[in-house]
Structure 1
Amino acid sequence: MPNLTDLPFQAAAKVQQLAERGSAELHYARKMFEAGALKLDPQIMITMLADIRRWGEFGMIPALNARRSPGRTAIIDDDGEITFKELDEAAHAVANGLLAKGVKGGDGVALLIRNHRWFLIALYGAARVGARLILLNSEFSGPQIKEVSEREGAKVIIYDDEYTSAVAASEPPLGKLRALATNPDSDEPSGSADETLTDLIARNAKTPAPKATQHSKIIILTSGTTGTPKGANRSTPPSLAPVGGVLSHVPFKAGEVTSLPAPMFHALGFLHATIAMMLGCTLVLRRKFKPATVLADLEKYQVTAIVVVPVMLSRLLDELEKTEPKPDLSKLRIVFVSGSQLGAELATRALKDLGPVVYNLYGSTEIAFASIARPEDLQKNPSTVGPVVKGITVKLLDDNGNEVPRGEVGRIFVRNTFPFEGYTGGGGKAIIDGMMSSGDVGYFDEHGLLYVSGRDDEMIVCGGENVFPAEVEDLISGHPEVVEATAIGVEDKEWGHRLRAFVVKIEGASVDEDAIKRYVKENLARYKVPREVVFLEELPRNPTGKILKRELKDMTVGGAE
């Protein structure tokens, strides 16, 4: 039985938690009104709420924009432009077509689509049916596509023509559809006989889809940097936090133009596609990330915001450095970065080359987001991931679940109003007192800024001292003759464990293994000096820019035991 003396304290804590949540929701609403995502127009608000009841929070978005600004350009991609009215009508036709194929609310619809208009048309069409939206990684192999789509219960797979061979072994019960009908990278036809979305739209009514039997869910797959990608199950939250939380730290505004190189199948790209569409912004999308094209887009379309993962930012800065004449980036107010660790060296370089426009979001597929570093935070310390977003709780706990003092490293636990519902195959992250582990360790400084020291499963004990690879990676990456670096733990007879560093040198660099070791020794403790330094042409990465450390662990290194 519960201890009755504890009940008043539990009730008081619950009341306080509800009050804090109410305050946060009001804060989010205010930020959304200020940004222009919500407008004080009774008729628009009434119809928006009616559309949410009809198609859910995702399915209603194109209708909201078609009503507010039907003729405004919604998407610019490699095939031209489409308006919000055209996007809304196409989504209705896809929804009606999917219903005719037998797709029902709760059925899985898998998307294997690059960044272009058909991703959003397919997404919103399937959302209006109430489907479970399964966002497949564009780099999946054929066996992975088959395994994941079957595991997640996909009744239909919608794919770009270039993936015809990759999806050949998959046989979803209600068939397959092609999004982009041709492969621009090949002169040879794919031979696919699957119907295209263009044809599906042509033979189905563009009238509003009927009310969905249930609201859609999103299945975003984890990065799979340490194994098979897992499906992260997340419903549409009863909260304004996903949009309002970001807007509370980042000054996105309605009706502007955003470049989105980050892949939309990933949490970062999907989050921002949703924010941009809620704001009625024009999205500039390209099938493939090409730094020169992106820089040209920034100038041509007077882009005010760009959303990238760190490796994309690094390559954009490299391209900017060699581009003459320099593009006019005077309209660019926001460089929104997430997806992997930004690092102090890259943050400093971006602030220097682009100005005080860099915003760094810390989060993951499971926890969504916890903190956002603004330019003023990064100028204080470029290593920070910023202050905690209002309405979100972040605590740093030791191995016994006790909160650690400020300045000390602890495991990062997060609680928000849009919780991760567990992996679709079962299991989840560690939870303590309603807070979920991010899988990272870090600390707070005296300003309340959060720092991520590294992954809690990557820490090694070297000579009795805890060592996190991220600190050494960031230092080596700042060497003037190094493009980038990473590190992993390996066994060491003398120290127990030491780090092995993998380094990409700049072209023509003369730096060698001894020089890298000496550089680390001059800047960090002796036990943090890598045991070996391995030079590579490039680091293995997934499409979102995360380094595939499992491939590095499997790599045979000369002289390694």
Structure 2
Amino acid sequence: MAGLLNSTSRMRISATWAQGSRARTRISAGWTGDSRTDAGLGGVARRVVLLAGNGVRVPGCSWFNPRMRPAAEPLTLTQLCTARATTHGGRLAVGDENGALSYADLASSATSVAAQLAGLGVGAGDRVALIGANCVPWVVAALGASYAGATVVPIGHGSSHTERTRILDSLRPRLVITEPPTTRHEPPSTTSPGTTPGEASTGSGRTPDTGPSPLAVLTFADLDVGGGHPPPAHISPDSAAVVLPTSGTSGAVKYVAMTHRQLLRLYTDVSATVGLTEHDRLLGVVPLAHSFGLNGVLLISLIAGAYVRLARRYAAGQLATLIRDERLTVLAGPPTIYHDLASGGRAAIGGTCRLAITGSTAISAPTMRATCDLLGIPEIVVGYGMTETCGTVALGRIPGEVGAAGPELAPVPGVEVRIAGEAGEPLPPRTEGRILVRGFNVVRGYATDRGRARDTEWCDTGDLGRTDEHGLLTVVGRSKDSMIVSGFNVRPAEVEDVFTRHGAVADIAVVGVADGRQGQRLVAFLVPRPGATVDDEDLIAFGRTHLAAYKVPRDFVVLGELPRTATGKVARGRLSATAGSREARDA
């Protein structure tokens, strides 16, 4: 494959729109087309380089010396964007169904948006919330906020009004940038009487006496990508670049602040590990509001100078066509994506895909290997991490011939993994225990903790695993109640709280069962109210009005009472076993 046709479009800046007396240029829905030819892929079947901590060599891994990086590597997201505009200015950076932007155009558009945001009072220390599906304007808005010195707060496009409001109330951003309302998801209540979209708030989230101040709201169509360019804001590498919610270790929603330095150091190594080059073309279907989509897809591509083709939503029937027509070389996402593509085989996606990147849930190595063989994808890289570790702890590959065990993963440089017993004591190799992590990527606190540091330098991931004599990690399961559905954390308590407000439900407990497509699938055991009739479709519709779709159980099992322990807690282990038995019986 000496060459690869890259049919793309370049953004056309529309005529102006007016708000009051000020006219702005906005991102248009129209694009003008041209075509561009990228250089060959090179090394389609080359081996993936695995990283071992601090450059130690382990079986199956290549030497890696983190000190061999360029001396002037970027330390912030804005330095990275500016650098790529210089080194890869004419190459394509991001695209969606409407067209694509080069690295030079991306930096120019982002700095113009930064000037617009600065005019609205956004500056260092502020937070800017982004609500929207994966698209080029989302990326421009995020980088524009970074150039203005602000911290980006991505909010899931599929999140409910309740979830959005909770995030906004907790983090109090200075500005919200959102897509126009849809029939299913109305925007959060971010305005108050007298505050209109585009109007700046009067304070940085709060007023001294009255609490929350009104939020300014812009839509993606309001973004000024053709205006002036501000003087560069001073951005410390140790300032927060992005804040993402998590419920991974405690079950309670918390907000993780990831610094520029952490993200650039970590994902420079990740990009090198998976072997990305400037010639690669990545699938960007994992939501950018998720660490996998934002860091594990978009950021590693920007670091490599590659191209990301964003997909607004996951539509299994259309994904194969997108991959084939865009001639994508790297697929990234949870096993669900590959499972859905497998029925069409290699012919459905074309012959350009050389690499699959997966993670975010339990991985069956034999299943994943067999699926990628059907798709004609020779290389598979598996990542393990959590939001509190900036999304990544360890990486590994699934070889051509695998046994029943999960993939063996090498910690990235500067990150240590310890397997510990219940009292925190280190356990010997090949002994199963709790996975603890420490290193530069572990966050020291949460965005809502007002600077309070973690109680310990070791982060308890809530997962179970073991290491071998060389330090390679195998993850065997979760030790806590949180479940992972299609790569997303689900807290049982959150789901149960919603359904207890349904008129037919007296008591409910939600557990996860293994699912070949989603990793885990939710099953709800409920006790109905006296005289009430339980209707599954009604319960599902009720859940979808309050929760993101992946948090809504599809199976409801009616019980006379929930099993409980001697202390009165729900016996989730017994319910999980019951759910597993039902699955086995119905298989």
TM-score over 0.5 (shorter chain): yes
Deviation track 1:9-32 (CA, whole Å, cap 9, x = no partner) reads xxxxxxxxxxx86999982354xx
The 1-side partners of 2:469 and 2:523 are apart by 30
Once the two structures are TM-superposed, the CA of residue 391 in structure 1 deviates from its matched residue by: 2.8
Question: CA contact under 8 A between 1:177 and 1:197: conserved in structure 2?
Answer: no
Deviation track 1:139-160 (CA, whole Å, cap 9, x = no partner) reads 2222321221121120100011
What residue number does 1:188 align with?
none
Q: RMSD of the alignment, in Å? A: 4.2
- The alignment status of 1:311 with 2:336, answered yes or no, reads yes
SS in 1 for 2:393: strand
Q: How does 1:104-115 map to 2 (within 5 A)?
A: 104-115=123-134
**Matched AA of 1:93:** S
Aligned residue pairs: how many?
Answer: 439
Question: CA contact under 8 A between 1:28 and 1:241: conserved in structure 2?
Answer: no
SS in 2 for 1:154: coil
**Matched AA of 1:416:** G
The 2-side partners of 1:291 and 1:304 are apart by 18
What residue number does 1:401 align with?
424
**Matched AA of 1:267:** S
Q: How does 1:130-169 map to 2 (within 5 A)?
A: 130-162=149-181, 166-169=186-189
Once the two structures are TM-superposed, the CA of residue 394 in structure 1 deviates from its matched residue by: 0.5
If the length of structure 1 is used for normalisation, what is the TM-score? Answer: 0.68
The 1-side partners of 2:300 and 2:416 are apart by 22
Q: How does 1:150-229 map to 2 (within 5 A)?
A: 150-162=169-181, 166-171=186-191, 176=197, 195-201=218-224, 204-205=227-228, 207-212=229-234, 215-222=239-246, 229=253
- The alignment status of 1:339 with 2:360, answered yes or no, reads yes
The 1-side partners of 2:401 and 2:273 are apart by 13
The 2-side partners of 1:119 and 1:439 are apart by 32
**1:302 aligned to 313, 327, 330, which one?**
327
What residue number does 1:366 align with?
388
- The alignment status of 1:257 with 2:281, answered yes or no, reads yes
- The alignment status of 1:417 with 2:440, answered yes or no, reads yes
**1:27 aligned to 65, 88, 99, which one?**
65
Once the two structures are TM-superposed, the CA of residue 366 in structure 1 deviates from its matched residue by: 0.9
**Matched AA of 1:169:** S
**2:301 aligned to 257, 273, 276, which one?**
276
**Matched AA of 1:369:** T
Q: How does 1:313-328 map to 2 (within 5 A)?
A: 313-318=338-343, 320-321=344-345, 326-328=348-350
SS in 1 for 2:176: strand
SS in 2 for 1:120: helix
The 2-side partners of 1:377 and 1:369 are apart by 24
Gaps of 5+ in 1: 1-19, 179-192, 460-471, 492-535
SS in 1 for 2:81: helix
- The alignment status of 1:233 with 2:271, answered yes or no, reads no
The 2-side partners of 1:546 and 1:449 are apart by 35
SS in 1 for 2:371: helix
- Structure 1 residues 200 and 450: alpha-carbon distance in aligned structure 2, compared to 1, 3 A threshold: closer
Once the two structures are TM-superposed, the CA of residue 267 in structure 1 deviates from its matched residue by: 0.6
The 2-side partners of 1:131 and 1:444 are apart by 40
- The alignment status of 1:452 with 2:475, answered yes or no, reads yes
- The alignment status of 1:293 with 2:318, answered yes or no, reads yes
The 1-side partners of 2:248 and 2:469 are apart by 35
The 2-side partners of 1:344 and 1:216 are apart by 35
SS in 2 for 1:92: helix
What residue number does 1:352 align with?
373
SS in 1 for 2:261: coil
What residue number does 1:76 align with?
95
Once the two structures are TM-superposed, the CA of residue 548 in structure 1 deviates from its matched residue by: 4.2
The 1-side partners of 2:255 and 2:196 are apart by 21
- The alignment status of 1:440 with 2:478, answered yes or no, reads no
**Matched AA of 1:342:** I
**Matched AA of 1:419:** V
Once the two structures are TM-superposed, the CA of residue 342 in structure 1 deviates from its matched residue by: 2.2
Deviation track 1:411-434 (CA, whole Å, cap 9, x = no partner) reads 100112222132223399997862
- The alignment status of 1:557 with 2:558, answered yes or no, reads yes
Once the two structures are TM-superposed, the CA of residue 107 in structure 1 deviates from its matched residue by: 0.6
The 1-side partners of 2:249 and 2:158 are apart by 13
- Structure 1 residues 397 and 283: alpha-carbon distance in aligned structure 2, compared to 1, 3 A threshold: same
What residue number does 1:186 align with?
none
Once the two structures are TM-superposed, the CA of residue 248 in structure 1 deviates from its matched residue by: 4.8
- Structure 1 residues 238 and 269: alpha-carbon distance in aligned structure 2, compared to 1, 3 A threshold: closer
Q: Percent identity?
A: 21
Once the two structures are TM-superposed, the CA of residue 93 in structure 1 deviates from its matched residue by: 0.9
The 2-side partners of 1:168 and 1:434 are apart by 37
The 2-side partners of 1:453 and 1:339 are apart by 13
The 2-side partners of 1:275 and 1:77 are apart by 18
Question: CA contact under 8 A between 2:409 and 2:472: conserved in structure 1?
Answer: yes
If the length of structure 2 is used for normalisation, what is the TM-score? Answer: 0.65
Question: CA contact under 8 A between 2:191 and 2:217: conserved in structure 1?
Answer: no
What residue number does 1:242 align with?
266
Once the two structures are TM-superposed, the CA of residue 228 in structure 1 deviates from its matched residue by: 5.8
- Structure 1 residues 344 and 458: alpha-carbon distance in aligned structure 2, compared to 1, 3 A threshold: farther
The 2-side partners of 1:429 and 1:248 are apart by 34
Deviation track 1:435-493 (CA, whole Å, cap 9, x = no partner) reads 2111111122466442222221249xxxxxxxxxxxx955xx57xxx9976588999xx
The 2-side partners of 1:241 and 1:407 are apart by 30
SS in 1 for 2:323: helix
**Matched AA of 1:288:** R
- Structure 1 residues 212 and 429: alpha-carbon distance in aligned structure 2, compared to 1, 3 A threshold: closer
**Matched AA of 1:112:** I
Question: CA contact under 8 A between 1:439 and 1:455: conserved in structure 2?
Answer: yes
SS in 2 for 1:296: helix
- Structure 1 residues 487 and 293: alpha-carbon distance in aligned structure 2, compared to 1, 3 A threshold: closer
- Structure 1 residues 107 and 277: alpha-carbon distance in aligned structure 2, compared to 1, 3 A threshold: same
Question: CA contact under 8 A between 1:239 and 1:417: conserved in structure 2?
Answer: no
Question: CA contact under 8 A between 2:415 and 2:437: conserved in structure 1?
Answer: yes
The 1-side partners of 2:136 and 2:441 are apart by 28
- Structure 1 residues 210 and 370: alpha-carbon distance in aligned structure 2, compared to 1, 3 A threshold: closer
The 1-side partners of 2:248 and 2:394 are apart by 23
The 1-side partners of 2:367 and 2:294 are apart by 24
Question: CA contact under 8 A between 1:261 and 1:289: conserved in structure 2?
Answer: yes
- The alignment status of 1:117 with 2:126, answered yes or no, reads no
Once the two structures are TM-superposed, the CA of residue 403 in structure 1 deviates from its matched residue by: 1.0
SS in 1 for 2:274: coil
SS in 1 for 2:224: helix
Question: CA contact under 8 A between 2:175 and 2:217: conserved in structure 1?
Answer: no
What residue number does 1:507 align with?
none
Deviation track 1:273-322 (CA, whole Å, cap 9, x = no partner) reads 1110121111101111123433223222322211112222222224x24x
- Structure 1 residues 65 and 237: alpha-carbon distance in aligned structure 2, compared to 1, 3 A threshold: closer
Deviation track 1:494-533 (CA, whole Å, cap 9, x = no partner) reads xxxxxxxxxxxxxxxxxxxxxxxxxxxxxxxxxxxxxxxx
SS in 1 for 2:106: helix
Gaps of 5+ in 2: 1-52, 58-62, 200-215, 483-511, 527-538, 563-587
**Matched AA of 1:233:** A
What residue number does 2:20 align with?
none
